[in-house]
Each structure stands twice: as C-alpha cells, then as structure tokens.
Amino acid sequence: MSTETIKKSAYRVCETTGLNIFKKAEFFTKANAVLAVIFLLIGGIAALTLALTRWSNVMLLDDVWYYRMITLHGTNMLVFWIIFFEMAILYFASTTLLNTEVFSKALGYISLVLMSVGAIMTNYIILDGQADVMLTSYPPLQAHPLFYLGIILFAVGALVVCFNFFATLYKAKKNKTYEGSMPLVTFGATTAAIIAVVALLHGAAALIPTYFWSMGWAEMMDPGAYRLLWWGLGHHSQQINVAAMVSVWYFIATLSTGAKPLNETVCRGAFILYILFINLAAAHHLLVDPGLSSEWKIWNTSYAMYLAVLASMIHGYTVPASMEVAMRRKGYNKGIFGWFAKLPWKDPGFSAVALSAIIFGFIGGITGVTLGTEQINIMAHNTLRIPGHFHATVVGGTSLAFMGLCYYLVPLIFQKDFYLKKLARIQPWLFGGGIVIMSFGMSFAGTYGVPRRLYDSDFSGANLETGFDSIAHIFLGVLGVGGVIAFTGLLLFIGLIVAAVFFGPSLKGKRMPTWQSEREQKMTDELISKGYEVEGEDYHAKTPGTIGLVIIFLLSFAIYYFANWAALTDLWHIG
Amino acid sequence: MSIFHPKGNWFRYPTGAERLWVGLALAWCLVMSITMPWWHFQGKQNAPQNSYTVEVSDFVGKAFEFAETNKVGEINGVPVAEVEPGGDGYLLGSMWRWYPILKLKKDQTYRIHVSSSDLQHGLSILPINMNIHVLPGYDHVMTITPTTSGEFSIVCNEFCGIGHHTMTGRIIVEE
Amino acid sequence: MEEEKIHPIQKFMDNIWLLLALGIAVPSLSYTFWGLAEIYSLAKGILP
C-alpha cells in the first residue's frame, strides 16, 4: 500500500472543517470562481437591458441592440458564467474531499488560458456586431468565425478540466488517499463531469463543422442535424447545472445544518439515473421540428419514462429530509413543520440553497416536464413560456445555489470575511424573489403566445397588423419589474463578493465566523463531528414535515400538468 | 455527512418514508409516461407526423403556383389563397412575411405544407397559440382542422434577422 | 484483516469508469445517433 508523500507546504488545514486544502487546486478553484463572476456581471448587465426592453412601456434598447444583447446575455450566462463556476466546483470536490492534490497544474493553466481566451473572443465579436445570431446560432444564420472559435476554445478548455478531474479521481483511488467510497458531494460532481463530457463533445460536433462553414472551408450542416447536435451541448449543459446544483444542496445542507444523507444508496442511485437518462431530454427542443419521429420524440423527451425526473424528485425529498432529521436531533421537534421554521434562514448560504430547491422544484421542474411533453409543446414552442421555465431552473435554481455556495466559499477558500452581513442575509431573497416574479411575467405572457427573443411585441411596421391584448403587456411589465429586482439582487451579490474577496478582513488562521448564532453553530458542529458514528440511528428517522412538503409538490405538479392537457383541447386539431 | 466517506458495505435498500416517496414518485412518473403515447393515439392535437426533404427552390415555386391558382383576394398586397377542403395548401416563411394568406373552412381538414425560403422560422398561429418549427429544405406537413372561425394572425417566433418582429401573416377561417 | 463483503450494486455505484462509459453511450445512442439516423434518412417529398 503506497501513500503519497505530501509536502507540508503543499496544503493547509482548514481551521473550520479540518479538511486539507491543497494549494494548486485552491488556486484553480479561486481563478475559475473569479472569472465566473466577471462573466456573470456582463451577462447580468445585458439582462437588465433586455428586461427593460421587453417591458413594452420602457423599450430601452433599439432593435439591433436588443438582438445583440440577447446573444451576449445567453452566451455569458448559459456558457461562460456557469461553466467557469462548475470548473471551480470540480477542482474542490476532487481534491479537498478526496484528500489529494490535483493531477496536473500544467493542464490547469492550459485550460484556464483556453477558456479565458475563448470567452473574451466570443464576447468581443458579439459586441462588435458580427454575431447577432443568438447563443444558438442556428444555420443558415451565420456569425463571424470568431464567435464559433471562442466557444470551441472554451469547450476544449472545459474538457481539459474534466480530464484533470477524472485523472485526479484516479490518482486519489490509486494512492489510497481516502478510505471507503468517495463522499456524496464528490459523487455528484462526478455526475456533473460525466454529463459535461457528453455536452462538450456535442458542442464540438455542432460547432467545429459550423466554424469551418463560416470560414468557407465546408458546406453548411443540415439545419435539422445542427439543432440536434447543438442542443446536445445546449441542453446537456443544463443537466451539468442540475447535477452541480444538487451537489451544492447536499454540501450546504451539511455545513449549515449538520445534515447527513439518510441513505447513500438512494442519493447515489438518483445521481446514476441522471448519468444514464437526463441527457435524453434535449429532445424537448425538437418536439415540433420536422424530420424526427414521434417515437424518438416521446421516448427521449420523457427521459426514458421520466426516470431522470424520478431522480430529481428523490433529491427533492432526501435533501430536506436530511435537514429535518438533523433539526429534530438538535431538539426542534415541535409539530410537523416546527423544524422548518427553525432552519437557519438568516444564513445566506442556507437560504439561497433552500430557495434554490423550492424555485427549481415548484416552478422550474414542473413547468419543464410539462412544456417538454410532445403535445403540450405545440402551445409553448418558442413562446415566452420557455424562458419563464428556464430562468426558474438555471437562475432561480442553479445560479442561486452557486451564490449560496459563495457565502461559504469566500470565507473558507478565499479566507476573507464579508462586510455588510445584514445585506448579505437578504440578498438571496431579493434575487430569488425577483427571478420568481420575472418568471411569472414571462410564463403568463407566453400563454398568450408572446414569442421569446422578440424585440417588439406590437409588431410595429409589419405589413399585416397584429398584436396582443393589453393583459399580455401587463405581464411583460411584470417581467420587467421582476428583472429589475433580480438585477438589484445580482449587483448586491457581486458587490458583496468583490468587497470581501479584495478588501475583506483576512480570516487566515481563524475559524469562519458563523452566519448563525454561536449556539446553533455549536450544535451543527457536533452533528458534523459525529460523522457516520450514529449511522444506525437514522434508519428509522421520521420525516413527516418533508413528506408533507413533497406531497404538496406532487399535487401541484399533477394540477399544473393536467391543466395544460385540458388547455390543449382548445387548439385546432393538428397532426 | 455528504462531505465524508461512507466506509465498508454501505449499500441499503430504501426504507420507511424514503421508500414510500420513491414509490409515489415512480407511480407519478409512470402515469406521465403513459399520457404522451395515449394522446398520440386518442388525442386530436399532436405534433405534425409527416415531413420530407425538399429543394428550397422547388418549394418556393410550388408555393407561388398554389397562391396564383387558388387566389380569391388580396390584403395589403398579399394574395389570399383558398384551400380545397381535404386538399393541400402551402405556407412559405420568408424574411419577413408568411405567404400567402390562407382561407379555410371550419371543421374541414387540410394538409398544409410549411417551409422556409431562407432561414429557420417559427410558425405561430395566434391567438390560439399553435406553434411549429420551420426549416429550409424540409417540407413540414401539418394536417389541421380549424375548430374555430374568424381571422387569425401568424407571427414568427424564431429569430430570423432584423425584420423578425415584422414577420406576420394571416389565416381566415370561414364558418 | 476481515474483508467486508461489498454489495454488487455498491460496486457498480463506485465504478466511475463504467458510469462514464454508460453516461456517454446511453444518451449518444438514444438521442444523438437515433436522431441523426432519422434526419439523414428522411424521404424526399413529392410536392402536390
């Protein structure tokens, strides 16, 4: 049995958790997180201008800049912000949690350069007005070659990080740097990395030939085939987001409440359902496309009989259930929901994660599965219902969870304390609340048929006049108001993070100051230190509160789902 | 803890409340799995089942020919073409209009061939809110039976350049 | 040293290389290859 000799200077011991933080991995975690937030800011400013343009009474931008800003917003948010942040998670989960240094510093630098150059390149060419093609860049629409090249370089860089991640996992196992199985959070990160590999390979398949076409070296790809391959990047990357978000839920649940997974088999089984089936649902972008059969559409859009949806519903139970058990063990046993009220809602790491789970589940998940049924999609394709759905999942779900993670990442990894903690405590509510309002505005406007990615909802200048009822415009106003609130929450987040990281008081050599009361933190620490000692006790733990919550969820799901089928019957017959 | 390593043989089947929930969730997933195929056979609204490859120029030619042959009027310079009940019609998406205007009868069935002469477009019939995707080189055949009468708008909901928000059309359905 | 018998399902869950292979193979076959096969074998239409 060989053990890797670890130089004393190659790692530090975290004063709060006792875990080893390895210097090289720590650098890459920080670098990717900082870059992520830079592109979040660019994407966020674009978002504000868009919200104020769709709000028909304001119409801030002109048509050229509106379409340009959508391209800028989509690319920065769905690709650069979120994948950079996920790379940071991969570095952390494969090293600190497995007690090993990252496999290769050189590969780390190469990927950092590739991803940064790619992101800057694409941003530049969009702002230069040579890529007004939306993030999706559907041929025959053609962008300047640098648009594609930038995304390709970014994707290659991300693949290198994934390789580094798997190599680190292999090295850790070989050198036996840990006993037993990898922790659940690392397993979730592995799920994300596997999905990332599939997504990035699809991106290469869609964009490399398209890049060649833009250079005049090859014929245009069939537009139907392009859509299939591109959504292999576009939607599969959302599934990276889901897996990473759920891993963050488990991580923060442990750190903020002392929760531990009630049954590792169930949680890991759910992640495996993601690995096998979650990517199939990219098909829901193609449900009303020509060229694909109903069999293909129905099988794939159902995630193979909704097995991946089952996985999400499982996590939707196990995460709050683990917290209910932890809370009850701390003595919060009053009634069915007493523990729920006593959760650390003032801890922004916790509240962001809790809001993320609620928003993702109730709004994002339910609308996504419903809109992704072949027939209901006829009422929804390319309407604002679609952004209404995905802002709840990607923004209210994943991005909000990542923000919550930062409230622990900054003190633990950057070792800096926050200023204005009162504002930090409300930030998740402000951002989450704004996104929910905006999502409602989008979804209701979309039910009237208001298209997504559309500059002028009055169609001014069209030869044949048309427009929407004033009620649709009211909902566009709701969209605008929600967007402004969310942007305020976003700006607050970035301000707090930047102030802490660059100017905050140093926490070197100190424990992280708790976001909760000292008494709460002590009870949480006690639970965490017990680790798996009291494994047997939880087998029969009662979770009536969580059962109540998930039953409410299931009923909401059923009501929304069947209401949509009922609405479908009002449509003309089509087939 | 989610951050610690489970050791030894940690495998365990779900028990108690966890098992109950997994069962309920699985049952719901199976219900949802049945609804799409069920509706496919029993329901009246399904994604268009037929599509073919076409040469763009062939389709454009046929669409114009159809509009000429079946012309019964004109609105703002766009021909209104009446489709024979049970027959075929054409709808061409171009930057930036839908061509021609279609005239249909309520409760009659039509095969409407939809394609694009240039970029990708999104066919969206309002206010009923019926949407399909339109690709150049593909004849997307929608077999429709209007169940309501009146004047309906068509808008485009797939970004197709700077004139995207002026790309409209019309369908007239008589009693 | 007593070797604890590990359940085969646990062994499967611990095998990230198998999971990586399946995670690439299953969606690629079900979504990508099946989809491309349908698109590229689409029949030419005879326009009425």
CA–CA gap between residue C1 and residue A506 (Å, rounded):
47
A32 assigned to some structural domain: yes
- Domains defined for chain B, CATH in brackets: 50-174 (2.60.40.420)
A571 assigned to some structural domain: no
Residue C1: pLDDT band with limits 50, 70, 90: very low
pLDDT at A373: 96
Residue B52: pLDDT band with limits 50, 70, 90: very high
Cis peptide before A140 (omega within 30 of 0): yes
A472-483 pLDDT tens trace: 999 999 999 999
Residues of C with CB below 8 A from B113's CB?
45, 47-48
A217-252 pLDDT tens trace: 999 999 999 999 999 999 999 999 999 999 999 999
Is A566 exposed, middle or buried (CB count within 10 Å of its CB: 0-12, 13-18, 19+)? exposed
A9-61 pLDDT tens trace: 699 999 999 999 999 999 999 999 999 999 999 999 999 999 999 999 999 99
Residue A380: pLDDT band with limits 50, 70, 90: very high
Instruction: State yes or no: pLDDT of A535 exceeds 80.
Output: no
Residue A1: pLDDT band with limits 50, 70, 90: very low
pLDDT at C3: 63
Instruction: State yes or no: pLDDT of A3 exceeds 50.
Output: no
> The CATH number of the domain where A65 resides is what?
1.20.210.10
Q: Does A286 touch chain C (CB under 8 A)?
A: yes
Q: At what angle do helices A400-409 and A23-54 cross, to 10 degrees?
A: 140
Instruction: State yes or no: pLDDT of A6 exceeds 70.
Output: no
Give the one of A253, A307, A375 whose C-beta lies nearest to B46's C-beta. Answer: A375
Which residue in the block uniquely carries the two structure tokens 């990508």? Answer: C32
Instruction: State yes or no: pLDDT of C2 exceeds 60.
Output: no
Residues of C with CB below 8 A from B59's CB?
47
Residue in chain B lying closest to A318 (CA): B18
Q: CA of B69 to nearest chain A CA: how many angstroms apart?
A: 22
CA–CA gap between residue A562 and residue A19 (Å, rounded):
49
Give the one of B2, B35, B48 whose C-beta lies nearest to A254's C-beta. Answer: B2
Where do the DSSP E strands lie in A15-104? 20-22
Give the one of A194, A279, A296 whose C-beta lies nearest to C20's C-beta. Answer: A194
Q: Can you say how many angstroms the Cα of residue A82 is from the centroid of all Cα atoms in its chain?
A: 7
Which residue in the block uniquely carries the two structure tokens 């415009």? Answer: A473
Instruction: State yes or no: pLDDT of A71 exceeds 60.
Output: yes
A239-288 pLDDT tens trace: 999 999 999 999 999 999 999 998 999 999 999 999 999 999 999 999 99
Classified as helix, coil or strand, A421 is helix
pLDDT at A507: 97
Question: Per the structure, how many domains does chain A have?
Answer: 1
Cβ-defined contact of A276 to C26 (cutoff 8 Å): yes
Q: CA of A113 to nearest chain B CA: how many angstroms apart?
A: 30
pLDDT at A529: 85
Give the chains touching C; criterion: ≥3 Cβ pairs < 8 Å: A, B
Tell me the Ramachandran region of residue A110: left when phi exceeds 0, alpha when psi lies from -120 to 50, beta otherwise.
alpha
A270 assigned to some structural domain: no
A228 assigned to some structural domain: yes
CA–CA gap between residue A141 and residue A168 (Å, rounded):
41
A353-365 pLDDT tens trace: 999 999 999 999 9
CA–CA gap between residue B117 and residue A148 (Å, rounded):
25
For residue A163, the one-letter residue type is F
Residue C4: pLDDT band with limits 50, 70, 90: confident
pLDDT at A302: 86
Eight-state DSSP code of residue B2? T
Chain A contact probe: residue of C7, C13, C16, C24 with most A CBs at under 10 A: C16
pLDDT at A382: 98
pLDDT at A540: 65
Residues of C with CB below 8 A from A182's CB?
14
B134 beta partners:
B121
pLDDT at A531: 72
CA–CA gap between residue A545 and residue A551 (Å, rounded):
10
A100-148 pLDDT tens trace: 999 999 999 999 999 999 999 999 999 999 999 999 999 999 999 999 9
Residues of C with CB below 8 A from A276's CB?
22-23, 26-27
Cβ-defined contact of A225 to C36 (cutoff 8 Å): yes
A475 assigned to some structural domain: no
ipTM field: 0.97
Instruction: State yes or no: pLDDT of B63 exceeds 70.
Output: yes
- Give the residue numbers spanning the domain of A115: 19-234
Q: Residue A420 — φ and ψ, nearest 5°? A: 50, 55
A141-181 pLDDT tens trace: 999 999 999 999 999 999 999 999 999 999 999 999 999 99
A198-221 pLDDT tens trace: 999 999 999 999 999 999 999 999
Residues of A with CB below 8 A from B171's CB?
none
A167 assigned to some structural domain: yes
A353 assigned to some structural domain: no
Cβ under 8 Å to B: A residues 151-190:
178-185
pLDDT at A534: 58
Q: CA of A176 to nearest chain B CA: how many angstroms apart?
A: 12
Size of interface B-C (CB pairs under 8 A): 39
A204 assigned to some structural domain: yes
Residue in chain A lying closest to B19 (CA): A266
Residue A381: pLDDT band with limits 50, 70, 90: very high
B107-141 pLDDT tens trace: 999 999 999 999 999 999 999 999 999 999 999 99
Residues of A with CB below 8 A from B51's CB?
290-291
Contact A323, B1 (CB under 8 A): no
